[in-house]
Amino acid sequence: MMIVVTGATGLLGRLVVEGLLEQVPADQVAVLVRSPEKAADLAARGVEVRTADYSRPETLDGAFAAGDKVLLISGSEIGQRIEQHQAVVDAAVKAGVALLAYTSVLGGDLATFRLAGEHQATEAAIRASGLPFVLLRNGWYTENYTGNLAQALEHGAVLASAGEGRVASATRADFAAAAVAVLTTEGHENRAYELSGDTAWSFAEYAAEVAAQSGRPVVYRELTPEQHLQLLLDAGLPAPLAETLVDVDAGISRGELAVSTGDLSRLIGRPTTPLADSVGAALPK
């Protein structure tokens, strides 16, 4: 039996593989990547590197073997993911894998923001496949925000159109640890986990934390959706992506990313990473 991680050279995938290598021998781990040269370091450590592309179904033929446990990390190409993920599901069915885990979105079928649509379609395809599955419904990464700390410090403001909405975020490392847990322990078949941070925070609280730790004035500046969209377009984002991000903030304003079930901390056996720790780690030293 092999544990196979798709998208293994991405930010989340890398963390999952590192976590697996702390739990199982390298010869029980395989990675599915588009560019094998990016996984050369993993190959040198004894990880099996398999080359395939979500967008080229023919490359997925033989990518999995009977009995494999597979983690399908959702693709990054918004608008193409339904077909891409279906190709992976089809290949997994053909191989007869033992378990198919998928990084979905918090709320699953109940999520109403448009980004959830492709995840919902993928969940439906996985259920229809007949394979044993685990749905890892990931909430928002704290890094989605701390990754923009330089701009917040430069302008003295955190900009969003989420109103007073709250976000129960967690770090990529937290979500990766949950994936490792379901891939290396038993009893997760045909379950959906709602994964999010233990504590939801508001953008005003986030700005205050950045200000406190940096010693610089930073406030939350609430934008209208129209202002937010124009800001993103002026920054050079493609219109579909800009519209999607504004729509996510609308979902936050409705409370859709504030849900905290405790599933994540239970799976990883510890509290999720506090916002203050993530801000401290991201601030320029």
Each residue of 195-223: pLDDT tens digit?
Answer: 999 999 999 999 999 999 999 999 999 99
pLDDT category, 27, cuts 50, 70, 90? very high
Average pLDDT over residues 86-115: 95
Report the pLDDT value the prediction gives residue 41, as an integer from 0 to 100: 95
pLDDT category, 225, cuts 50, 70, 90? very high
What percent of the chain clears pLDDT 70, i.e. is strictly above it? 100
Average pLDDT over residues 104-115: 93
Report the pLDDT value the prediction gives residue 78, as an integer from 0 to 100: 79
Residues 144-162: tens digit of each pLDDT: 999 989 999 999 999 999 9
Residues 38-82: tens digit of each pLDDT: 999 999 999 999 998 888 889 998 899 999 999 999 887 777 789
pLDDT category, 190, cuts 50, 70, 90? very high
Closest alpha carbon to 40 in 50, 27, 49: 49
Using CA atoms, how far apart are residues 195 and 123, in angstroms rounded to an integer? Answer: 15
Looking at the whole model, is its pTM more than 0.85?
yes
Average pLDDT over residues 239-263: 95
pLDDT category, 100, cuts 50, 70, 90? very high
Domain ranges for the chain:
3-138, 140-171+195-259+273-285
Q: Which residues have CB under 8 Å from 161's CB, separation 6+?
A: 222, 223, 224, 225, 227, 228, 246, 249, 250, 253
Q: Do residues 228 and 246 touch, judged by C-beta distance below 8 A?
A: yes
Report the pLDDT value the prediction gives residue 76, as an integer from 0 to 100: 75
Instruction: For residue 165, give the amino acid letter.
Output: G
Average pLDDT over residues 29-43: 94
Q: Do residues 214 and 153 touch, judged by C-beta distance below 8 A?
A: yes
Superfamily, domain 3-138: NAD(P)-binding Rossmann-like Domain (3.40.50.720)
∠246-250-255 over CA atoms, to 5°?
A: 140
pLDDT category, 141, cuts 50, 70, 90? very high
The rounded mean pLDDT for the chain is: 95
Q: Which of left, alpha, beta for 36 (phi over 0: left; psi -120 to 50: alpha)? A: alpha
Q: Tell me the CATH number for domain 140-171+195-259+273-285.
A: 3.90.25.10
Average pLDDT over residues 178-187: 97
* pLDDT at 1 exceeding the cut of 90: no
